[in-house]
Structure 1
Amino acid sequence: MSNKNEMDYSPDSIAASYSQRDKWLKSAPLPVVDPIYNASTYFLPSTAVGEAIIAEKQPGYVYSRIRNPTIDVCAEVIAQLEGAQGGTLLTSSGMAAISLVFLTFLKSGDHLVCQYPVDTHTIKLIEDLMMGNKVEVTWVDNNKMDAFEKAIRANTKMVFVESPCNPSITLQDLESLGKLAQRHPQLITMVDGTFASTYVQQPLKYGVHISMHSCTKYMGGHSDITAGCVSFTNKELYKKAQWYSTFLGPSLSPFDASLLHRSLKTLPVRMERHSINAMKIAKFLEQHSKVKVVHYPGLESHPQHNIAKSQMKMFGGMISFEVDGGKEAGIKLVESVQLISLAVSLGGTGSLIEHPASLTNTESLMDEEARKKCGVADGLVRLSVGLEDADDLIKDLTQALEKL
C-alpha cells in the first residue's frame, strides 16, 4: 500500500500493507518492505535547506534523534490505527513514553489525577520523580469515574488511567473519560492501553487526548524488542511532546522501529488468535475447583463485561486468576507449567505466566498494604495467553493445577 493511495482502508489493511517506500526510493523496482535508514545524520545540500527542515518549512531530515524515515513510517502506521489526528511518537520503551508525556505536560505546582492501581513502575515514576518535582497527585480508586470528577482542582492538568489495568484486568469507561475531558477543557486525559493493543481499543475516538502503549508487548508481539509509542488527538499536543523529545532523547532505534513495523503487519490476526485462546482458557479456569476467581473481560462474570463489549473489538489475551492456597500455591503453579514460560512481560507469540506478588508487584517495589490496594492477592497469577493450540495450554495448566 503506497502513501499515495487516498482510499479509506480498514485497520487490517493498514497494518498489513502501509508503506512509504515510494516517498524515498525514486527508481523502480521498489522493495515490498520499507528499508532501514540507520544513519545518525543526513547530508544537506546547503545550510538554507537544513535551516528550512529544522523550521519545518520543508520536509527532510537533519539528525536521527529528531526524525528518521524508518521511525516515521512505523509511527504513521500506529497513528492511523489509533485514529491519531495529531500524530504518533515512538520511544525506546513504554516507560519512556509515559515519562515523555509527564515531563512535557506537568510542572511544579500542577495536579495529576491518577487511577490506583497502575503499573508498579508508573507508580514509582509518579512518586519518586513527579512528586519529587512538586507535582501534586491524587490517587483515585479504579473504575470510579465520579471520584475522578471530584478530585479535579483548579490546578489539575492531567488525568491518567490504564485500561485494562495491570494486573487486575479491570477497565475504565473510555466514553465517560472522554466526556470528563469535555466538561473540563483544561485537562489532558491519557490512557495506557498496553494490555489491549491499539487494534483492540482506540481511546482517542472517545475524546481522550493521548493514547500510549508499551510496544514491547502486543504491538511488537514477538518478545524481541523494547519500544513504546504515544499518540495524540491534535497537532498542538503532538508538537509540544515532539519538541521535548528532541532534548530528552527517548527515541526508538531504526532497527527496532523496523521490527515493530514488521510486527504491526500481523497485529490484527495475532490479536484475534490471542482473544480466541484466552476466552477458551478463561472459561476452563472459571470452572476449575482450585481457582477462586478469574479476571477476564470476555467473561460474563467480569463486573465490567458490558463496558468491555462496548469499547473493545475483542477481549485480548490477558487473564489473571487467583488460586486456592495463597502465595505458596501461586508460586507452585507458575513453576510447574511446561509449555507456558515463567517470565514477566506479555503479548508475545508464546504464552507467559508470572506470580505478581513475587515478581511484578514484589516487596522491592511495594509493601503488603500497597499490594492489597492494587488487588494483588497472594495467590494471584497473571497469564499472557499466546498463539499456541488452546487445548495444549489447557493441558499444561491442568497438570500444573493438579500439583497444588
Structure 2
Amino acid sequence: MYLFKAGDHIIAGNEIYGGTFRLFLKVLVDYGLTFSFVDMSDPANVRVAVTPQTKGIWIETPSNPLLNLVDMSAIASIAKDVGAITIADNTFLSPYLQRPFEFGVDVVVHSTTKYLNGHSDVVGGAVVTRHPAHAERIAYVHNALGLACSPFDAWLVLRGIKTLGPRMEAHQRGAMAVAKFLAGHPKVERVYFPGLPDHPHHELAKRQQKGFGAMLSFDIKGGREAAKQMMLGTKLFQMAESLGGVESLIAYPVTMSHASMTPEARAAAGISEKTIRLSVGIENPDDLVDDLRQALEHA
C-alpha cells in the first residue's frame, strides 16, 4: 500500500479476507486512502466504481470465503485504461496453481504462512512485482520499516516451497472428494468450490488456473446452531482460522475470519450464519469424507 499516497482511491472486492477488510477500513483510511467495495465477479462493476482518484484495484481470486473468481485479464485491462495498479492476493492458490502476472496483474501478494510454507509454523508474507519502479519502492519501504522475517522463518518457507507441487496435488485430491461428498449431502444447502461444474465461475477457473485448489465453503441447513454442532463433531478437521497447512481445518467465518466485517458488509458479500469454510489438508480423502459424514450427523 506504500505505492499509494493520501487522496488515492482503491477498488476492492466486497468479499475479501476479513483481515484485509479491517486493514483497509480501520487502518489505511487514517492515512488518507479511500476504498470502494464491489462485486468484482462482474468487471462492469469495477469500471463503474472508477473515479479520477482511482490508483489501485485489489483483486482476491478465488475470494475468501465463498470462492468467487475474478477475471484478472478484464480487470487488468480496466486498470490500464485508467492508469491504476492491479494487486492480486494469490494466497489461496499459490504460484503452483495460478500466476497473476500472466494475466496483466502488476503486483502479487502472498501470505507465506499458508501454502508456500505449508506446515503452519511460520507467520509471514511476500510482495512480488514485475515493474522495476515498484520493486525499488517496495524494497525501500521494506528496509525502512524493518519488515524482514527472521532467517529461520525464511528458511522454513524455502523448505516448504520445495514440496509445494506434491502438496498442492494432494490438497486438491482431497478437496475434490470433499466437495463432491458435500454437494450430495441432504444437510448441505450449497457448496462453494470452483472445481464443481455447477459453480458459476467453473469455466473461468479452467482458463485462469492450473487447478481448483483446496479451499471450499458450504452452507449448512439449520443455520448457526447446526454449524456449531457440526464443527464440534469433527475429529480430523481442526477448528482454526488459518489455512494452507498439511492438516485440514474448519472455520466459521462469521465469528472467525470475517468477524471484523460489519453484519451489513458480510450480508453484501453473501457470508451468512450457515456458512462454514474448509481448508482441506493432505490426509487420506476417504478419511476426510468419513469425518465430515459423522460430524454432519450431529447437525
TM-score strictly above 0.5: yes
Residues in 2 aligned to 1:139 and 1:356: alpha-carbon distance in whole angstroms: 19
Q: Is the 8 A contact 1:113 1:137 kept in 2?
A: yes
Q: Does 2:289 match 1:394? A: yes
Task: Give how far 1:383 is off.
Answer: 0.5
Aligned partner letter, 1:240: R
Q: Which residue of 2 aligns with 1:278?
A: 175
Q: Which residue of 1 aligns with 2:143?
A: 246
Q: Is the 8 A contact 2:168 2:213 kept in 1?
A: yes
Q: Which residue of 2 aligns with 1:125?
A: 23
Q: Is the 8 A contact 1:181 1:208 kept in 2?
A: no
Q: Does 2:53 match 1:158? A: no
SS at match of 2:96: coil
Q: Which residue of 2 aligns with 1:80?
A: none
Select the structure of larger CA radius of gyration. Answer: 1
Residues in 2 aligned to 1:399 and 1:368: alpha-carbon distance in whole angstroms: 31
Per-residue CA distance 1:306-360 (angstroms, 9 max, x = gap): 0000011011100100100101111111111011111110011010011112222
Q: Is the 8 A contact 1:116 1:374 kept in 2?
A: yes
Q: Does 2:270 match 1:372? A: no
Task: Give how far 1:257 is off.
Answer: 0.6
Residues in 2 aligned to 1:234 and 1:279: alpha-carbon distance in whole angstroms: 36
Where do 1:35-46 residues align within 5 Å?
none
Q: Is the 8 A contact 2:111 2:125 kept in 1?
A: yes
Q: Which residue of 1 aligns with 2:105?
A: 208
SS at match of 1:118: coil
Residues in 2 aligned to 1:127 and 1:283: alpha-carbon distance in whole angstroms: 37
Question: How does the TM-score come out when normalised to structure 1?
Answer: 0.72
Q: Is the 8 A contact 1:195 1:318 kept in 2?
A: yes
Aligned partner letter, 2:296: L
Aligned partner letter, 1:129: V
Aligned partner letter, 2:257: T
Aligned partner letter, 2:139: Q
Residues in 2 aligned to 1:354 and 1:125: alpha-carbon distance in whole angstroms: 21
Q: Does 2:223 match 1:322? A: no
Task: From 10, 17, 21, give the equivalent of 1:112.
Answer: 10
Runs of 5+ consecutive residues of structure 1 not aligned to the other structure = 1-101
Q: Is the 8 A contact 1:278 1:318 kept in 2?
A: yes
Task: Give how far 1:285 is off.
Answer: 0.4
Q: Does 2:37 match 1:142? A: no
Q: Is the 8 A contact 2:46 2:75 kept in 1?
A: no
Residues paired across the two proteins, number: 299
Residues in 1 aligned to 2:85 and 2:101: alpha-carbon distance in whole angstroms: 12
Q: Which residue of 2 aligns with 1:191?
A: 88
Q: Is the 8 A contact 1:181 1:207 kept in 2?
A: no
Q: Is the 8 A contact 2:14 2:265 kept in 1?
A: no
Aligned partner letter, 2:45: A
Task: Give how far 1:107 is off.
Answer: 1.3
Residues in 2 aligned to 1:325 and 1:367: alpha-carbon distance in whole angstroms: 22
Q: Which residue of 1 aligns with 2:74?
A: 176
Aligned partner letter, 1:176: A
SS at match of 2:287: helix
Where do 1:342-357 residues align within 5 Å?
342-357=239-254
Q: Which residue of 1 aligns with 2:195?
A: 298
Residues in 2 aligned to 1:391 and 1:176: alpha-carbon distance in whole angstroms: 39
